[in-house]
Amino acid sequence: MKLNSEQEKAIEEYVDAQGLKIQTLRDDIIDHLCCVVESELGKGKPFDQSFEQAILDLAPDGLLEIQNKTVFLLNSKRIIMMKKLTYLTGLLGAVALTAGVTFKLLHMAFATELFMLGFLLLLLVFIPLLAIDRYKVILSKTISVRLKFISGVAAAVITGLSAVFKIMHLQGADLLLLLGAFLFAFGFLPFYFFTMYKKSIA
């Protein structure tokens, strides 16, 4: 049994409301849903029930999950390499930072160099790479959640840089600290408490 124009429009509107960004995937999903629903209608089932079951069978976790998996498969090598680099720099940074602190306490050579290497690896490589990876997960979230994430990461990196400047006695440490504190207080915190409030009344 063929779908009428209103039923086809209902399927298209549902798919479009999910926020899919890959046009070819969007078209394929609509075609698939239309075919499945038409088949079920031919068995005498009502449209609403057939459509709901077709969506549940295709994407129990939502259509965006299909898009995420598609993007991962299309970019799997690059994504895996980025994840390896992220966690490798995190490991090396943490080891170097730990060694630097230990060497400092034992008054051994290269303590400051190891500490700074670890600190910079974590601050300038690991945290930004991890933030980029996590940001892809929250792209489908509200603008307040995304702004909270961006302002929080920026505040952390800038504040960390101010500590590096302070340790190395470089100019601009106080300015960076003020900027980091400003971003944290007037960027991250308002969005953080706003999202907490939204969750509490949901």
Note the pLDDT tens digit of each residue in 138-153: 665 678 778 888 899 9
Does the pLDDT value for residue 23 go beyond 70?
yes
Question: The whole model's pTM is what?
Answer: 0.55
Q: Does residue 9 contact residue 17 with C-beta atoms inside 8 Å?
A: no
pLDDT at 102: 95
Average pLDDT over residues 108-130: 92
Residue 145, judged by CB atoms within 10 A of its CB (0-12, 13-18, 19+), counts as middle
The phi and psi torsions of 2 (rounded to 5 degrees) equal: -80, 145
pLDDT at 116: 92
